[in-house]
Chains A and B, each alone.
Chain A
Amino acid sequence: MYIIKKNDILNLAKELAKDHTMYGPVVEDSTGQAFFDRVDNIDDIDMAAPIPTLPPKHVLFPHMETIMQYRYDADQKKAEITGVFDESRKALFGLRPCDLEGILCMDRFFLGQEFVDDWYREHRSRMFIVTNTCIAPFKQCFCVCTDSGPDAKEGYDINLTDIGQYYLVETGSKKGEDLAKAMNLDKAAEEHSREKTVRVEKSITLFEDIAVENKAWISRVMNRVTTGFIDEAVWEFIGDQCFECGACTYVCPSCTCFNVVDINRKDGESLRLRTWDSCSYEGYSRMAGGHNPRKPVEDRRNKRFFCKLSYSQSKKYLRPGCVGCGRCAWVCPGDIGLPNVVTYIRREISK
């Protein structure tokens, strides 16, 4: 464990920037909105920025990405196919713990199962991750209820915690350790790591005011969702409020569904694209031949919350699918962000 003076924190980012494309929390000037995005100038990184509206998912799993290019030569009767990979080295600096958990979920989906996704792997394998402990939760947060914060437990190269004058620097990998050493960081004393514990404990107590009835019921609701004892009328009530926009999926740090399309460009080149997809869309679950096992919108919503809040799904991710960031509640045109769904199900349980 090391410490670094608070004012020097971006030196760490500058060191990483020497051989990484840098991503971090930045606040867009004209609108005041926080993003987790590529930074041109390291000084733009704002470690105190509120939780970014855009999670880092897009860095590893872009909204739309060309994964393959092909061209058919009619004269030679030959097709030339090239995989398109992004092999750049990327560093995610100042990631919030919930977003790291989102990446770990994606890892288990794209890398940890029967198939390994080469495109994801290329984005991921050279990645350097620096997390930032949330010493105070933001208004919509409930990571304490989903076991994904307020401090990161695993999966980072370096974990930072604001302990007043300093950041406590914990290393979680050899890469992280090497960087700390290369920068000649001072060793942390016991008081520093104690201060971290105090601050994390304090942060957890702050959730009591914001993570009230809805969020605190998550584990109970998971039980209910898993066993399938939820009244159909509750799903219909939720389904009626779904505008089928896909937003909840798109902002979710752990949602991995995608669509693949081939584009025949005018210049003769064909592209294979991968784009984000969402279980809220009717076409998502429609099969060849027209049958749709999840045609009614409430069945599609039911699917989403099964994915986020069931034990069977948790077995795949080795954690709940929901990481407690609260973004789905921001973007939902209905009123069915995950915390509200918990409330609706809770009302039924309490009846």
Chain B
Amino acid sequence: MDYKPGICTFCGTGCGHFLKVSQSGVDGVFPSRNHPVSRGRLCVRGWNIHELLSTTDRNTTPMVKKSGTFQPVTYEEAITEAVNSLKKFLPGETAFLASPRSSNEENYLFMKMARSVFGTNNISTDTESGHRNSLDVLNEGTGFPGMTGSIGDIQKSEVLLVAGMDITRQNPIIGSELHMASMNGATLVTLDSRTTQIARLSDTFYRINPGSMKVLFNALASAMVANNLYDKSFVEKNTENYNEFIESIQAVDIESGAKKSGLTVEELTRLAELLTKSKSAMSFFTSGISGLDRDTIGSIYNVFLLAGKIGKEGCGVNPIAGINNLQGSFDTGCAPDLLTGFQSLADQKVRTKFESAWQQALPADGGFDFDTMMKNGSVKALVVTDHDDGIIKYRDSLDSVEYIVYIGAFRNDFQDYAHVVLPITSYIETDGTYTNTERRVQLSSKKMDGDANVMPGWKLLQTIANKAGANWNYTSPSDVMNEISQLTPTYSGITYDRLSTSFGLQWPCNTSKPDGTIRYSLESAPRKPLFVKISMDTDIPSVTDKFPYLLMMGKAQHYWHQNNLMHKTHIPLREYNATLLLYPDGYVEIHPDDAKKLGVRDRWSVRVVSAGGDMEIMAKVSDEVAPGRAYIPYFIRDMITAFLSKHIDAVEKGEDATIPVRIEKV
């Protein structure tokens, strides 16, 4: 048989697939019918993944930049050059940028290398603002830093609430699960500022005002309390600090909150009733680069706790990761203040455990994430692994960075800024595990030999570490996983042997939960859940005479995250071009009524002007946006650097990001 089982590594859903591996390479893919997550389905990206895996646009030889141009060299020379150069910088000036695409093993070794070999806690992915907010809220609330429900529970839930996420585009197979559940009788509710596909498929769709998600959820919580539409006995029995929360939420004005978000008080009350009176309910929102801010996530979580819809079957607050191993990159400690499994670096006991396992003192001072360091210009040396094109957004601020090492399987435009490029094999040419959005750790086994001259990531990292003075002796990725399980309570029951005979294990997986954990449950939780403290401010972005449109941002299916990988495919690339050839410089979506007012037609140029800057862009006339609103899919690269970089604060709100603008006919 030529079809080999594996997992898709595009988004955080973690679908099962088979790759057709022949002598010529990977030339086909087929969905896995018995896989518990995808159950025989794949999306447009997954159905064409073989096109990416057979690209020749790969890094195949180590390169060192000599007088401005890259020269092919041996690994020995490149690694020696990289290590000697990196050693010249202080730990505080050195940043390690991990990738949410790398395997758990690669990310763990990368993190270990940053801390124990180069002595810095400046280790992060560049998705801090998104998924980290989700994990922080859930950790503060429940002590469970991951999706509290699971994908399999969707079919067991009575009410499914999608909060501002274009889920059928971003994580299509989870979107499919929601649609299937709705066809089977569950009530599907979508809150969004745009009429997305999931909005059209919903039983109820509320087109809310841009940037009003938090205001809406706080008003909803207030309405639940005021009308006694919350699960009082659940809250009193199962939660701590509810008195404090109820007191604070009562101060939120329901009527003004409803008005600001674009709902009526009756609609808000109906929603309260639906969430509380149903047996089970789940919420879904995007997590990652375009994730929501902490307060908004907290407001969603608090409503679900108030409705008694956390810790039970068919319930949960579910941040949906955009990238395949985003959850895993946090699980493996790729954050300045975290070690593996969300263990705090500040915890002396944890530090001692790692220090004795690694036989190396850990740096004491807390590190910084890459985004923060780039903003304050403190990065002098940078080590980056396999990244999407999004990283290119930093190119204009790279002047202060003196030395860059890029490690990656696929060619990426960012590597042109590097001084040393180190190739690694792609994910099918070595073993590795990936943790999907529902905490499912899955093994992707090696399916073919890569270029004989290219090292797998784990081996390369070990070689670099040893060159820099460490003494690592891993003989396989499985060895690395054994070390992760020893040091990580939530991963302690996970081994390659167990993964190879299953469709993955959901953490926590340990002696008390040997088969993993489907969902966070009240019974087995070490403590009661807490309401999360959030700001109750009710400011929402509003239009002025000068800036009468609210501009929103979002992802698009084929090109999410300005995806470097999609460039290397044919069909998904064509699908992207279907849009981009029509709108070569990107587009701003406006309502037909507004187009009429402005005197423009589809594909005419307009100027979008904000308080921070302006750009010329084509209009796409569509009734998916409401009048007075405008929408830009933020996959269009130049727009990010030129325009959005002036609105970093707004962009950090992710999918809820909103900028007041004026639109002029050009």
Q: Count chain B residues whose beta carbon lies closer than 8 angstroms to a beta carbon of A.
A: 54
A37 at interface (Cβ–Cβ under 8 A)? yes
Decide: A240 near B197, CB < 8 A? Known: A32-B34, A63-B20.
yes
- Interchain nearest-CB distance for A24 vs B (Å): 10
A153 at interface (Cβ–Cβ under 8 A)? no
A53 CB contact (under 8 Å) in B30, B42, B201: B30
- Interface residue ranges of A239-254 to B (CB < 8 Å): 240-241, 243-247, 250
Bound-state CA distance A334–B179 (Å) is 7
Bound-state CA distance A38–B35 (Å) is 22
Whether B44 contacts A244 by the Cβ 8 Å rule is: yes
B467 at interface (Cβ–Cβ under 8 A)? no
B570 CB contact (under 8 Å) in A35, A58, A245, A261: A261
Given the complex, which residues of B lie within 8 Å of A292, measured CB to CB?
A: 578
Mask: chain A, 262-293; 1 = CB below 8 Å from B; 0 = not: 01011100000101010001110010001010
B541 at interface (Cβ–Cβ under 8 A)? no
Q: Which of A75-83, A101-109, A163-171, A325-333 contacts B (4 or more CB under 8 A)?
A: A325-333
B375 at interface (Cβ–Cβ under 8 A)? no
Whether B41 contacts A331 by the Cβ 8 Å rule is: yes
Mask: chain A, 220-263; 1 = CB below 8 Å from B; 0 = not: 00000000000000000000110111110010000000010101
Given the complex, which residues of A lie within 8 Å of B571, measured CB to CB?
A: 246, 259, 275, 277, 281, 283
Whether B201 contacts A241 by the Cβ 8 Å rule is: yes
A31 at interface (Cβ–Cβ under 8 A)? yes
- Interchain nearest-CB distance for B446 vs A (Å): 14
Determine chain B's interface SS by DSSP, over half rule: mixed
**CB closest residue in chain B, given A330:** B40
Whether A263 contacts B35 by the Cβ 8 Å rule is: no
Whether B3 contacts A35 by the Cβ 8 Å rule is: yes
B577 at interface (Cβ–Cβ under 8 A)? yes
A205 at interface (Cβ–Cβ under 8 A)? no
Whether B56 contacts A263 by the Cβ 8 Å rule is: yes
B31 CB contact (under 8 Å) in A259, A277, A331: A331
A17 at interface (Cβ–Cβ under 8 A)? no
Decide: A62 near B28, CB < 8 A? Known: A28-B18, A245-B47, A331-B41.
yes
Whether B172 contacts A333 by the Cβ 8 Å rule is: yes
Interface residue tally on A, bucketed by range = 35 or more
Number of A-B contacts (CB under 8 A): 137
B452 at interface (Cβ–Cβ under 8 A)? no
A26 at interface (Cβ–Cβ under 8 A)? yes
A66 CB contact (under 8 Å) in B24, B33, B577, B578: B24
A43 at interface (Cβ–Cβ under 8 A)? no
- Interface residue ranges of B85-103 to A (CB < 8 Å): none
Whether A26 contacts B1 by the Cβ 8 Å rule is: yes
B176 at interface (Cβ–Cβ under 8 A)? yes
Bound-state CA distance A286–B582 (Å) is 10
Whether B47 contacts A247 by the Cβ 8 Å rule is: yes
A243 CB contact (under 8 Å) in B51, B176, B579: B176
B226 at interface (Cβ–Cβ under 8 A)? no
Whether B50 contacts A33 by the Cβ 8 Å rule is: no
Mask: chain B, 14-54; 1 = CB below 8 Å from A; 0 = not: 00101010001001111111110000111110111011001
**CB closest residue in chain A, given B574:** A283
B346 at interface (Cβ–Cβ under 8 A)? no
Whether B28 contacts A64 by the Cβ 8 Å rule is: yes
Whether A331 contacts B40 by the Cβ 8 Å rule is: yes
Given the complex, which residues of B lie within 8 Å of A33, measured CB to CB?
A: 18, 32-34
**CB closest residue in chain A, given B570:** A261
Whether A335 contacts B179 by the Cβ 8 Å rule is: yes
- Interchain nearest-CB distance for A334 vs B (Å): 6
Decide: A63 near B197, CB < 8 A? Known: A35-B1, A261-B570.
no
Decide: A266 near B578, CB < 8 A? Known: A62-B27, A241-B179, A275-B571.
no
Bound-state CA distance A62–B3 (Å) is 13
Spell out A's residues near B (CB within 8 Å). Answer: 26, 28, 30-33, 35, 37-40, 44, 53-54, 58, 62-66, 240-241, 243-247, 250, 259, 261, 263, 265-267, 273, 275, 277, 281-283, 286, 290, 292, 330-335
Known: A38-B1, A265-B56, A275-B51. 14 other contacts (CB 8 A): A28-B18, A30-B500, A31-B32, A33-B32, A63-B20, A245-B42, A247-B31, A247-B42, A259-B574, A282-B578, A283-B571, A283-B574, A330-B33, A335-B180
Spell out B's residues near A (CB within 8 Å). Answer: 1-3, 5, 16, 18, 20, 24, 27-35, 40-44, 46-48, 50-51, 54, 56-57, 60, 168, 172-173, 175-176, 179-180, 183, 197, 200-201, 500-501, 557, 570-571, 574-575, 577-579, 581-582
